[in-house]
Structure 1
Amino acid sequence: MLTNEPVGDKEKTCLQMINDLIQLCNPKEILLGILEQVDEATGDLISQIILALLQPLQTVLLKLGNKKSYSVGLSLSTVHSRISYLPVPYTVEQIKEDKHSLCQCCLALLQFIQPFVDLVSQTTDVTKEQDLQEMRRELLTFCFSCLKFPLLTAQLKLGEDELKDNPFCLFAEGIMGFLVALGEPLPKAFMQNVHKAESLENDNTVPQKEMYTAEAVACLSYLLFVHHFGMDAFPFVFGPSFVLKSNMEHIDVLLKRTEESVLSKGLELLEHSLLRVDNESLHEELLDIKAIGQVLQDLVKVMTLCPIEHLRKKSLAMLQLVIDKFCVEGKYKLFRCLLKTSNHSGVEGYIIHNIKNQIDVALKADTQNRWFLGTRLTPLLHMVLSLPEGAETDLLQNSDRIMASSTF
């Protein structure tokens, strides 16, 4: 129907014919015809066809009567599967240019599903309850799919002086607003164990296996705690340490990716979770939680292997922030763990520098704590002053560690 040429009289005429057919013909037949056009779109035609047909598609769906949940779900999955082929613009210039019209499609989709969200959230007719619950599940599935694409990789942290009204921020805010309007309990979604999502018991709130994917829940947590989208519907009953502990699994998911935008989200979520916690307030038992150990390993990998300098520096700052938040015994346990597992001279040298600072504090402070003095200090010093591979240690490769420990 559409071509690569700008929309002209021919295309306008076709759209007018579709609208006329919607009024005269069987809505289901028109629906299948529209979805066929969308599903067959490729390349630059994807966004052009979607933007042209969303309004007629919405009109025909609204004409289907009460039993329309399956058709709404099919339409949303078809449209989302096609826009998933579009590259996500990242820089300010790319977002402004919107070469492949992904930003336009996202904003158009908010308008497209608004009446269906309103229908579910505002209808009180009990005779329609089953169909509305089915439609609710379809809408939630779409919203969580959008958290995974495009929002997981989209750049949301842009200053207003660079780009006012970032379309991805508007889209993220809209999606989170839909989740709230549809009655999705955000605390429940935020606290999901993403690695066991498929084994969760099914209930009337969400189709769990399809919805609670690791990436979608991690993105939801990022939008909640970094951008505060949907935070008005989030109860303030969780303590800072609980939020930090619950977020660690989501942070691990983000930090294991390689895209700059996703790594940035993981570091930002970690930072915002840590800043809510008082210094020296975290107990050493938290280090026994698997996800926390994984995040520490992720930070070391980003610090040592990531080719992007600002992310390496950010990871180092986050490691120091983690250290600052643990109590003295937690710091002691953390240092021992990092010295055993980091396998990087620069990281080990940084940890040794922190150990020296803690020894200095212990010597000067009038406190009964002796974790960095006396007999407890001896095994830690043994780790610090021993060469990793004994006499066969490569002194050049381990120079950072050796120089740091030589000042003891």
Structure 2
Amino acid sequence: MEVENSTQDLPAPVADKMDLGEVVWQELLAGNYENAVQAVKAKENEVSLENNSLELVPVVTKLLQEDVGPEGEQCVEDILLHIASVANPKEVVLVFLEVLEMKWSATQVRVMLSPLQTVLLRQASSTNTRAVTFSWVFNTLYSHVATLETPQGLNLEGKERHLLDFDPLVREASDILQHLIQFYEGIFTRVISGELEWGGGKDSREYLAMFLLQLFHKPLTYLDVFDENKGDTCNALYLSCGHLASMVGQLFFNVFKLLGSVSWKSSKTLLASESKEIEEMKPETLEDNDGEDDREGKKDEVSQLSLACFFYCVVGQEMAAEWVPQVYSHQYVFLTCLPLVSALLQEKEHIPIHKGLILSGALLNKLARHSLPGDSLEAPAHSSFPQLLVRVMTFCDNKELRTQALDIFRTHMGKFDSQGRRKLIQALLLSVKHAGVLGLVIHELKENVALNLSKENLDLNFSGRNLVELVKAACVLPEAEQTDLLEWSDCIMAALNLLIFLFIRDKENRTKVAGVSHSLKEGYLTQLQTGLDLSKGHYELKLKELSETQCKKKEDKLSVCVGGQMLPNLPRDQERKVVEAAICSLDMMQCVLVRAVQAIEKNI
């Protein structure tokens, strides 16, 4: 009896997994972190940990939901690392994945990643590692990253974008990205050294690279990763992105291998052909196709936005430069990357649009002037690229992006040979319905004709029948005499200036444009004159009414419609100024029209 009583007085060891979980939880709640770690590492609990870890991991990770500070987080990480090192690997992976499906902060994710890496590397082999386990983990981690919120609806320009570095959403995404890179780096090192090879006939380098590329879709496509000095920055997000790009480059040895995964599947052509006009594509119509490429990506390996953001980093920001070969044709790289540029420009948020503009500008700057053949317009997405630029130029509410798109639009047109420029100008004249853009296109036509006339032997692309067709396409009023001349003034003035230049500069009729003079005089110019008479008569009558009712109380007020919304009624003085400005603009148009008619009549 004495022996039995003395035995009962001794502290009993932890008998099973439930007892261990209770002991650890009590120690953690009491803040006795060192005791909790020692309890888990105790020799008498080795067997329990090896075979039964499914219930202990949730107990330990539950502490992360409390504000335990750095010491508590380190304690949880130490316990999870020990479990990952000694417990059944398959059980640990399953319970870790279950825990990771919950919404965690960046700090909580960091605590989980190191133990998860440890248990995965325990299963690594240099011959035939089971790939499905790794893919489960990688996809679970990415599903967590893909749900991260990013700033939306911000209209930031230039250095204002640096303010995003202080946005809580950006900082959380940046922190999680850093932790994920550290997680992948351990696996990356094993793959590079040959210590980790996945079975099933997979190329281990490409297999890992595809999972790394996922991160370029979300969150990186929607986060500002831009530096004017291309690397001379302390921005953590930029540096992490550069590190990630270098890892992908080293896995492939050649980043341009990924060009083979670029695809473009658009059901609509945005530019008109030479023989057929198409209706205007409205912004909402273009947005309907957003993400279409990603849903139909090649073999579902990697989304087109992932590739787009990756090549933005490589080409636009010159990351991973040591893995960018210099033997590829700039023309080939530009044409192959156009679907990626278009994918970025189709996005609604300003940050991916900015990436698309930077990428297209970097690609175009590598091309020599007049080096692209006209046949390259048949390349995938090339018909959409100019129209997407037009959409940014006309509808984007960010001035910096509008200006940038305009510069790229002009640069793009100058990269083609004469046949390509002629085809592009004709297609734009037939498809674009914005007066300001049409005025710009007509000005480009005038510049090309001037260049052609300076040559001894005329280029047939800007003379003869081709030039006549271009002039006819430029000299069109969308609603004949009833066209709103003030709204279309940019296009009309550009067309009149083109006619004046042609008939004064080409007095010898080298371009054969005189053959269209009669149809222009009787058609376009006559319609324009009739429209001017009607418009001037309307505004003069309005001005007369304002003068006659100046001393009377007038019930009807002049209303102005902007963007489909009626502005408040204007004071009487402002009404007069608006009407007088309209009459002045019409008078100016009348003067240019008279000059154009005189120039044509001299050549008849």
Alignment TM-score, normalising by the size of structure 2: 0.60
After superposition, the C-alpha distances for 1:337-396 in whole angstroms (9 at most, x for unaligned) are: 111001111111111112222222233343432433444322222222232232332223
Cα displacement (A) at 1:190: 1.6
Q: Does 1:389 find its partner at 2:451?
A: no
Paired position in structure 2 for 1:353: 443
Structure 2: state its 5+ residue gaps.
Answer: 1-61, 155-160, 266-296, 501-604
CA–CA distance in structure 1, aligned partners of residues 363 and 72 of structure 2:
54
Q: Does 1:83 find its partner at 2:145?
A: yes
Residue 194 of structure 2, aligned match among 86, 100, 123: 123
Paired position in structure 2 for 1:202: none
Residue 147 of structure 1, aligned match among 207, 216, 231: 216
Change (3 A) 1:171 1:209: farther
Residue 326 of structure 2, aligned match among 226, 236, 244: 236
Q: What is the letter of the counterpart of residue 78 of structure 1?
A: T
Paired position in structure 1 for 2:165: 95
Cα displacement (A) at 1:123: 1.6
CA–CA distance in structure 2, aligned partners of residues 253 and 161 of structure 1:
23
C-alpha contact (below 8 Å) 1:345/1:401 kept by paired residues: yes
CA–CA distance in structure 2, aligned partners of residues 143 and 261 of structure 1:
21
Q: Does 1:50 find its partner at 2:109?
A: yes
Alignment of 1:106-117 (within 5 A): 106-117=177-188
Higher relative contact order (CA 8 A, sep 6+): 1
Change (3 A) 1:35 1:157: same
Alignment of 1:80-229 (within 5 A): 80-88=142-150, 91-96=161-166, 98=168, 101-123=172-194, 130=199, 133=202, 136=205, 138-159=207-228, 164-183=233-252, 186-195=255-264, 209-229=299-319
CA–CA distance in structure 2, aligned partners of residues 136 and 265 of structure 1:
27
CA–CA distance in structure 1, aligned partners of residues 424 and 335 of structure 2:
16
Q: Does 1:323 find its partner at 2:423?
A: no
Where 1:293 maps in the other structure, the secondary structure is coil
CA–CA distance in structure 2, aligned partners of residues 161 and 152 of structure 1:
17
Change (3 A) 1:388 1:237: same
CA–CA distance in structure 2, aligned partners of residues 236 and 331 of structure 1:
28
C-alpha contact (below 8 Å) 2:110/2:179 kept by paired residues: yes
Cα displacement (A) at 1:325: 1.1
Where 2:462 maps in the other structure, the secondary structure is coil
Cα displacement (A) at 1:164: 2.7
Structure 1's consecutive aligned runs of 4 or more residues displaced over 6 angstroms after TM superposition are 160-163
Cα displacement (A) at 1:271: 1.0
CA–CA distance in structure 1, aligned partners of residues 232 and 166 of structure 2:
8
Paired position in structure 1 for 2:131: 69
Paired position in structure 1 for 2:6: none
After superposition, the C-alpha distances for 1:75-116 in whole angstroms (9 at most, x for unaligned) are: 222122112222236942332455552211111211111121
CA–CA distance in structure 2, aligned partners of residues 129 and 223 of structure 1:
28
Change (3 A) 1:368 1:135: closer
C-alpha contact (below 8 Å) 2:217/2:306 kept by paired residues: yes
Paired position in structure 2 for 1:405: 495
Cα displacement (A) at 1:298: 0.7
Change (3 A) 1:253 1:280: same
Cα displacement (A) at 1:15: 2.9
CA–CA distance in structure 2, aligned partners of residues 132 and 253 of structure 1:
32
Q: What is the letter of the counterpart of residue 162 of structure 2?
A: V
Change (3 A) 1:183 1:365: closer
Alignment RMSD, CA only? 2.8
Cα displacement (A) at 1:143: 0.9
Where 1:191 maps in the other structure, the secondary structure is helix
Q: Does 1:21 find its partner at 2:92?
A: no
CA–CA distance in structure 2, aligned partners of residues 294 and 26 of structure 1:
54
CA–CA distance in structure 2, aligned partners of residues 191 and 141 of structure 1:
13
CA–CA distance in structure 2, aligned partners of residues 124 and 28 of structure 1:
20
CA–CA distance in structure 2, aligned partners of residues 38 and 353 of structure 1:
59
Change (3 A) 1:378 1:21: closer
C-alpha contact (below 8 Å) 2:130/2:199 kept by paired residues: no
C-alpha contact (below 8 Å) 2:262/2:337 kept by paired residues: no
Cα displacement (A) at 1:60: 2.1
Q: What is the letter of the counterpart of residue 92 of structure 1?
A: H
Cα displacement (A) at 1:317: 0.9
Where 2:473 maps in the other structure, the secondary structure is helix
Alignment TM-score, normalising by the size of structure 1: 0.86
Cα displacement (A) at 1:136: 4.6
CA–CA distance in structure 1, aligned partners of residues 378 and 421 of structure 2:
13
C-alpha contact (below 8 Å) 2:254/2:325 kept by paired residues: no
Range 27-36 or range 240-249, more displaced: 27-36
Instruction: From the CA coordinates, give the structure whose radius of gyration is larger.
Output: 2
Alignment of 1:332-351 (within 5 A): 332-351=422-441
Change (3 A) 1:159 1:227: closer
Where 1:29 maps in the other structure, the secondary structure is helix
CA–CA distance in structure 1, aligned partners of residues 305 and 496 of structure 2:
44
Where 2:69 maps in the other structure, the secondary structure is coil
Q: What is the letter of the counterpart of residue 188 of structure 2?
A: V
Paired position in structure 1 for 2:102: 40
Where 2:222 maps in the other structure, the secondary structure is coil
CA–CA distance in structure 2, aligned partners of residues 135 and 243 of structure 1:
26
After superposition, the C-alpha distances for 1:105-144 in whole angstroms (9 at most, x for unaligned) are: 111211111121121221279xx56279475565233212
Cα displacement (A) at 1:299: 0.9
CA–CA distance in structure 1, aligned partners of residues 85 and 175 of structure 2:
27
Cα displacement (A) at 1:38: 1.6
Change (3 A) 1:188 1:135: closer
State the identity %.
Answer: 24
C-alpha contact (below 8 Å) 1:218/1:254 kept by paired residues: yes
